Amino acid sequence: MAFDTVRRAATSLSGARPLPYWLDDPGRPTARPALAGDEVCDLLVVGGGYSGLWTALLAKERDPGREVVLIEAHEAGWAASGRNGGFCAASLTHGTANGLDRWPEEIAELEDLGRRNLDAIEEAVTRYGIDCAFERTGEIDVATRPHELAGLRDWHRRTGELGLAQPEFLDRDRMRAEVDSPVLLGGLWDRRGVALLHPAKLAWGLKRVCLGLGVRVYEHTPGLALARSGAGVAVRTPYGRVFARRAALGTNVFPSLVRRLRPFTVPVYDYALTTEPLSADRLASIGWRNRQGLGDSAHRFHYFRLSADNRILWGGYDAVYPFGGRTDPSLDQRPETFLKLAAHFFTYFPQLSGVRFTHAWGGAIDTCSRFSAFFTTAYGGRVAHAAGYTGLGVGATRFGAEVMLDLLAGERTERTALRMVRSRPLPFPPEPFAWAGIELTKRSLARADSHGGRRDLWLRAMDRMGLGFDS
């Protein structure tokens, strides 16, 4: 990067707080007290992110008499669920293209279930009065290089041929009429398939609803070990045990209480910035009246959107895998990535020169080798687990919660009949192979971005094995 570019990026970041913007909010609820002594319940939910909260909420909706306990190691919504981009997508498969590659015979059903899932989220947000700035404004996949534009045109044609929901193609002029950036060559606007929301407020709202429905929520209560107990299971915490007939694990990127599931996901750190609120003049200088979310169609992609108070959230690009698959709060800050992100921001929006960033943060994404969630049972069907959402779990975790409840009930439903639900991704190898494979893949993907999208031998071999890497 040129010296002036670095200096401008550094200046724009100089006042940024090292915190997720969404969590730095006076409305952050106080944590519920930790468990004190033993508990007995019908269903124990481990994890207070969207996965766990939707599971507890839907369990109560399905059967209000069921005794449900939720334990959370820290505070509900502090992890990925409180620090993501807030793109709440209908897709259950990390995008239609990924779903089509892996489950072509099910894609129409998967897309339909995904749309119904997003509708159900919107309906629950309204019904329970969850104030999370839900806006169903859609998302535009944008092209900044000619080969990306050709890829978008091709995808537009294919969705039409396959009878899938067809996004609207925007040529350069129409794209720039939506969002005026000199780097944007065109885009595909999916108007109904994505909503934007305030992620932490969704998590906090779900927690409030769970409490209202009678879920007993214990925060600062890590589950340390899981074992059979009579006809059910018991989870040990530092303060007592929870005995439950059934347990659902929504622990995402953190080590699963079922050890054999650990190699199926790796943590990949993703980073984001938010600007100060834009004045009306600054906002007018870039258009963006329709408030869609945007995402680059490159492998190393940026995602960006407006907040309710007209800040721009600007994230993505670097996807960092820490050797050994560590998750550690020290990894939430990465100044070299923040500088890079800020520099890219001003290339996209030169009109916003002088704008300051107020927050800079990162978080771990539970990446799996098929990019979309997988579902498992353990302990003879008494425990269900869902993870592997790979950066697209804001919406899909509600579907995952339904699947976990179906599995625990031993029911065959339209969800559990899916091959997508019954199959599993390939696990990651142990170190140093995981690190070496991921680094090699990242380098190849970066090369593909700058060489007209051409995939090298390594990526083609990975494609043949159905293996991938994404954030």
Ligand X SMILES: Cc1cc2nc3c(=O)[nH]c(=O)nc-3n(C[C@H](O)[C@H](O)[C@H](O)COP(=O)(O)OP(=O)(O)OC[C@H]3O[C@@H](n4cnc5c(N)ncnc54)[C@H](O)[C@@H]3O)c2cc1C
What residue ranges bind ligand X (CB under 6 A)? 46-52, 71-74, 78-81, 83-87, 89, 222-223, 250-252, 254, 257, 270, 272, 363-365, 389, 391-395, 397
Q: Output the smallest distance, CB 394 to ligand X, in A.
A: 3
Q: Output the smallest distance, CB 120 to ligand X, in A.
A: 15
Closest CA to 417 of 164, 113, 162, 118: 113
**Distance in angstroms (rounded) separating the CA atoms of residues 386 and 218:** 21
Query: Smaller CB distance to ligand X: residue 100 or 200?
Result: 200
Query: Smaller CB distance to ligand X: residue 75 or 149?
Result: 75
Cis, peptide link before residue 432, omega less than 30° from 0: yes
248 half-sphere exposure, CB direction, 13 A CA radius: 34
Tokens of 305: 């959107």
Say if residues 407 and 386 touch (Cβ distance below 8 Å). Answer: no
In a 3-state reduction of DSSP, which class is residue 274?
A: strand
Query: Smaller CB distance to ligand X: residue 48 or 232?
Result: 48
Q: Which residues contact 13 (CB under 8 A, 6 or more apart)?
A: 273, 338, 339, 342, 357, 360
Q: Output the smallest distance, CB 127 to ligand X, in A.
A: 21
Closest CA to 83 of 358, 326, 277, 365: 365
Q: Output the smallest distance, CB 280 to ligand X, in A.
A: 26
In a 3-state reduction of DSSP, which class is residue 186?
A: strand
Residue position matching structure tokens 């396959």: 162
Query: Smaller CB distance to ligand X: residue 391 or 468?
Result: 391
Query: Smaller CB distance to ligand X: residue 222 or 444?
Result: 222
Q: Output the smallest distance, CB 157 to ligand X, in A.
A: 26
Three-state SS for 294-346 is: EEECCCCCEEEEECCCCCEEEEECCCECCHHHCCCHHHHCCHHHHHHHHHHHH
Q: In terms of DSSP bridges, do strands 39-46 and 194-196 run parallel, antiparallel, or are they unpaired?
A: unpaired
Find the distance separating the first CA and the last CA of the chain, reported in whole Å: 24
Q: Output the smallest distance, CB 268 to ligand X, in A.
A: 9
Say if residues 59 and 262 touch (Cβ distance below 8 Å). Answer: no
Query: Smaller CB distance to ligand X: residue 47 or 99?
Result: 47
Q: Output the smallest distance, CB 199 to ligand X, in A.
A: 7
Query: Smaller CB distance to ligand X: residue 225 or 417?
Result: 225
Q: Output the smallest distance, CB 348 to ligand X, in A.
A: 18
Q: What is the chain's length?
A: 471
Query: Smaller CB distance to ligand X: residue 47 or 187?
Result: 47
